[in-house]
A and B are shown apart, each in its own frame.
Chain A
Amino acid sequence: MLIYAILAVPLAAGTVAAAVPWRPWAGWVAVAANGAVLVLGAILAAGVTRGHPAVAGGGVLRADALSAFMVVVIGVIAVLASSQSVRYLNAEIARGACTARHAALYTALVQAFVTCMLLAVLAASLGVMWVAVEATTIATTFLVGHRRTDGALEASWKYVVLCSAGIALAFLGTALFYFAALHASGHPAGSLDWTALMAASHRLDPGVVRLAMGLIVLGYGTKVGLAPMHSWLPDAHSQAPAPVSALMSGVLLTVAFYALLRFKAIADGTLGPGYPRALLVVAGLASLVVAASLLIAQRDYKRMLAYHSIEHMGLIALGAAAGSQLAIAAVLLHILGHGLAKGVLFLASGEILLAEGTSEISKVPALLSRRPVLGGIFGFGLVALLGLPPFSLFASELNMLRAEVAAGLGWAAAIALVCMAVIFAAVMAHGRHLLLGEAPAQGSRAAIPRAVAVPLVAGLLACAFLGVSAWPLQPLLHAAAQVVAS
């Protein structure tokens, strides 16, 4: 019942938005619906942490602690992002860049996008999960191109071509897992259900699973934005409207990573941890190196945030490679912390773009003195994202590094630390110009409205609170990590 409601509520809000002529209240209905997802997700999480996984839809839908955790993450970021969508749409309509029909379509697509992500984490079958992840690509393509500039259209073209090609490989990998299950030694398990595949994992053919897992990492890795399949990400995330960037960077990447975690658990059962670990370490380190090298000379603050996402996906790939329960719990906390911080930053960047009219770092100096609230939010967001205390990313990064050392991946952790240091220096330099710098003599100094500031500050406070004490989440993180830890 709960699971149905989680899927139906956001979809219903999207249907309403599509059905009636655009009015701001339709946007607020969507915010309320996403808030309901968060509340229902928390109830679901409380239920499955204590008891058994919840099943619905004749076994098509299934929620264990890991699914419930992801529902909570999706809910949090969706509330944050959709609360700013109304403002984005009003601004676009006011400057004549967007018609009422496009605004309605935007709201409907965002809700469809959120529903697809929820379906992906609630699907019992890995096949249905694939269908849902691919559907997110379709729902977001027009959202990426929503501003209808040449750059936005180019970004959405690259996005849909690269992600569809990548995700086709993930489908092949999924089919090969099914093939291996059909020919499992002992009795065949002709099913794509994750639980059935987990139960049969030690009886699958290692050769086929090795090939399949390679395809899965390539395929879902494209959607996660892991190097070298990352090239669509900076374009798509920088061209999309800010609320869409917040959702894509904050949760869509990690929903795809959730898919990787599910497959990794099966492959661990068949092959032992060595092979999946090697794949993830290579992809993770490559992502960190790419992010570090391209952040140094970055001139655009939205692209800077996008490359920062590649860095964080690399970090969680390394954390997942370690694979212990401590590591996975830290990975999950990092997913939530990164979602919050990156969501807030993309939304703040949208506000800066709205106020300044450019996304070039060099043309936006001294935000702190000119727009103290907005500059403060952006500054604290960067501090959170760089992994400084008290924000939760500090705790999760520390725990991931500890787990990597414990798993014998100390050398990888060392390389990661070097990359993080380079990124820290690069982002600090960009951030110093953006926030401090030399204030131009004239220029607008308007304050941002409270409806914008309050959700963003709340997001940062939540991220800091989780860093100081993750106690409300501790049992959930523990239970969720147990699901896929090796």
Chain B
Amino acid sequence: MTGSAYTGPLGLAAGVVLACAVATLWRRDLRAVVSVLALQGIALGAVAAVLAVHFRDIGLGVTAALVLAAKGLIIPALLRRIVRRDPGSRETAPLLNVPASLLAAAVLIVLAYLASGKITALAPGTAASLAPLGLATVLIGFFMLATRRKAVSAITGLLLVDNGVALVTFLLTAGLPLLVELGAFLDVLLVVVVLWVLATTMRARLGPFDLDQLRELHD
């Protein structure tokens, strides 16, 4: 594969990952947010797939297939099951409204570019130059964790952080050793299952709930 044939799709897929992160802040309808997350998972899988083809790396190919299956299909399906039982589920009252959130996202993207100067300096090239997109996704994930109130939004924030970390890892290192990738993959899947079980149990006890309602514990 020639250089340009590889950088085009790579840049596109990485760009989609960040665009999806911003879109999760923009949409309040939680069903739409889950669909956006699925698209982000597919884009992340595509990044891994493009790199796997470019480097002829079978291990990374396996990782790409797993990412596509887990983050494109399984995890969104689990989240849809939480959302479906909560009709008209919307992020009703985020701590920061949508326009302000989008502005904050813009600031975070700039910050990500500033923070990754050292990284891009060490390994000039297309892949590393895209790393700030992943870092920005991580920051937007933390922002979502801090400002949104629904359980599904918290899971979304966590997945944004995780997808951003995965994107940076793919771009900079073309995948960690396969054993580590597999373990990390399994961990993420289990965390989502654990959160899904917890959210279901809490709904059974509390009805549809906001995280604000969790205030039993304080000092």
Beta-carbon contact of B123 and A172 below 8 Å: no
Q: Which of B151, B169, B183, B216 contacts A172 (CB 8 A)?
A: B169
Closest-CB distance, A460 to chain B (whole angstroms): 28
Report the count of interface residues on B (CB-CB < 8 A).
45
Identify the interface centre among B118, B180, B211: most chain A CB within 10 Å of its CB.
B180
B216 surroundings in chain A (CB, below 8 A): 150-151, 154
Binds B, one of A71-79, A178-186, A266-274, A308-316: A178-186
Point out the residues of chain B lying under 8 angstroms from A135, CB to CB: 183, 187, 190
Q: Which residue of chain A lies nearest to B193 when distances are taken between CB atoms in the complex?
A: A138
Within 8 A of A (CB), among B139-162: 141-142, 145, 151, 154, 157-158, 161-162
B104 interface contact, C-beta 8 A: no
Contact of A182 among B158, B173, B211, B217 (CB under 8 A): B173
Determine how close the nearest CB of chain B comes to the CB of A86; give it in whole angstroms. 26
A111 located at the interface, meaning its Cβ lies under 8 Å from any Cβ of chain B in the complex: no
Contact B121 A207 (CB under 8 A): yes
Taking a contact as CB atoms under 8 Å apart, the answer to whether A142 and B194 are in contact is: yes
User: In the bound complex, what is the Cα–Cα distance between A238 and B216 (angstroms)?
Assistant: 12
**Main SS of chain B's interface residues?**
helix
Name A60's closest neighbour in chain B (CB-CB): B179
| With known contacts A134-B187, A207-B121, A160–B195 Cβ distance under 8 A | yes
B123 touches A164 (CB 8 A): no
**Nearest residue in B to A163 (C-beta to C-beta)?**
B191
A179 to B168, CA, bound (A): 10
Residues of chain B within 8 A (CB-CB) of A172 are 138, 165, 168-169
Please choose the segment from B2-10, B81-89, B198-206 that sits at the chain A interface, where 4 or more of its residues have CB less than 8 A away: B198-206
Number of interface residues of A (CB under 8 A): 53
- Which chain B positions have C-beta within 8 A of A169? 138, 161, 165
Contact B202 A175 (CB under 8 A): no
Instruction: Write the A136-177 contact mask toward B (1 if CB under 8 angstroms, else 0).
Output: 011001100100101101111110110011001101101110
B103 at the interface (CB under 8 A from A): no
What's the Cα separation between A45 and B12 when bound, in Å?
Answer: 52
Which of chain A's residues have a CB closer than 8 A to the CB of B162? 164, 168
Q: Are B194's CB and A160's CB within 8 A? A: yes
Residue of A nearest to B180 (CB): A127
Residues of B within 8 A of A303 (CB): 219
Pairwise interchain contact B205-A153, C-beta atoms closer than 8 A: yes
Interface: B122 (CB within 8 A): yes
Q: Is A93's CB within 8 Å of the partner chain B?
A: no
B111 in contact (CB, < 8 A): no
Once bound together, how far apart are the Cα atoms of A294 and B177, in whole Å? 43
Nearest CB of A to B43, in Å: 18
A125:B158 contact, CB within 8 angstroms: no
Q: Is A208 located at the chain interface by the 8 A CB criterion?
A: yes
Q: Please determine whether A294 and B214 come into contact, CB atoms closer than 8 angstroms.
A: no
Q: How far is the CA of A18 from the CA of B169 in the complex (A)?
A: 36
Residues of chain B within 8 A of A243, CB atoms compared: none
Asked whether any CB of chain B lies closer than 8 Å to the CB of A324, the reply is: no
Chain B residues in 8 Å Cβ range of A154 = 202, 214, 216-217
Q: Which residue of A lies closest to B123 (CB)?
A: A183
How far is it, in angstroms, between the C-alpha of A28 and the C-alpha of B171 when the chains are bound?
49
Scoring B157, B173, B186 by chain A CB atoms within 10 A of each residue's CB, the highest score goes to B173
Write out the residue numbers on chain A whose beta carbons fall within 8 Å of the beta carbon of B179. Answer: 60, 125, 127-128
Bound form: Cα–Cα A131–B165 in Å: 14
In the complex, are the beta carbons of B168 and A175 less than 8 A apart?
Answer: yes
Q: Does B184 contact A (CB under 8 A)?
A: yes
Check B115–A211 contact: CB distance below 8 A: yes
Q: Mark A369-405, 1 if CB is under 8 A from B, else 0.
A: 0000000000000000000000000000000000000
Query: Which of B61-102 touch A at CB < 8 Å?
Result: none
Nearest opposing residue in chain A for B161, CB measure:
A168
Give every chain A residue within 8 A of B195 (Cβ-Cβ).
Answer: 157, 160-161
B183 touches A165 (CB 8 A): no
Judging by beta carbons under 8 Å apart, are A234 and B219 in contact?
A: yes
Please tell me if B58 contacts chain A, counting CB pairs below 8 Å: no
Instruction: Pick the residue among B119, B154, B202 that contacts A211 (CB under 8 A).
Output: B119
Is A88 on the interface with B (CB-CB < 8 A)?
A: no
Q: Is A205 an interface residue (CB 8 A)?
A: yes
User: CB-nearest residue of chain A relative to B115?
Assistant: A211
Which A residues lie within 8 Å of B154 (CB)?
Answer: 161
**B190 cross-chain contacts in A, Cβ below 8 A:** 135, 138
- Give the contacting residue for B183; candidates A127, A164, A180, A207; CB below 8 A: A127
The reply to whether A175 and B219 contact each other, CB–CB distance below 8 Å, is no
Name the residue of chain A whose CB is nearest to the CB of B162.
A168
Q: How distant is the Cα of A128 from the Cα of B183 in the complex, in angstroms?
A: 7
Q: Does B18 contact A (CB under 8 A)?
A: no
With a 10 A CB-CB cut-off, give which of A141, A160, A168, A175 has the most chain B CB atoms: A168
Does A239 sit within 8 A of B, measured CB to CB? yes
Residue A90 lies at the interface, judged by CB distance under 8 Å to chain B: no
Check A171–B198 contact: CB distance below 8 A: no
Find out whether the CB atom of A207 lies under 8 angstroms from the CB atom of B184.
no
Q: Write the nearest CB–CB distance from B135 to chain A, whole angstroms.
A: 8
CB-defined contacts of A155 to chain B, threshold 8 Å: 217
| Distance A151 CA – B215 CA, assembled complex (angstroms) | 8
User: What residues of A have a CB within 8 angstroms of the CB of B177 in the complex?
Assistant: 125, 127, 191-192
Is the Cβ of B217 less than 8 Å from the Cβ of A239?
yes
- Please give me the residue from chain A that is nearest to B182 by CB atom: A131
Which listed residue, B118, B142, B151, B206, touches A207 by the CB 8 Å rule?
Answer: B118
A188 to chain B, nearest CB (A): 11
**Interface membership of B176, Cβ < 8 A:** yes
Q: Tell which of A148, A158, A164, A303 has the most Cβ of chain B within 10 Å.
A: A164
Given A179-B123, A208-B122; A138-B191 close (CB under 8 Å): yes
Q: How far is the CA of A138 from the CA of B193 in the complex (A)?
A: 10
Pick the contact of A297: B115, B123, B180, B219 (CB < 8 A).
Answer: B219
Q: Given A131-B180, A175-B169, A239-B217, check contact A137 B202 (CB 8 Å).
A: no
Q: How far is the CB of A341 from chain B (nearest CB, A)?
A: 23
B22 partner residues in chain A, CB cutoff 8 A: none
Beyond the given A125-B180, A208-B122, could you list 8 further A-B residue pairs with CB under 8 A, ordered by the A residue number? A60-B179, A128-B180, A137-B191, A138-B187, A141-B194, A157-B199, A175-B165, A208-B119
User: What are 15 A-B contacts with C-beta separation under 8 Å?
Assistant: A127-B176, A131-B187, A135-B187, A154-B217, A158-B214, A161-B154, A165-B158, A165-B161, A168-B161, A175-B172, A183-B123, A208-B122, A210-B118, A211-B115, A238-B217
Which 7 residue pairs spanning A and B have beta carbons closest together? A127-B180, A131-B183, A207-B118, A175-B169, A179-B172, A154-B214, A151-B216
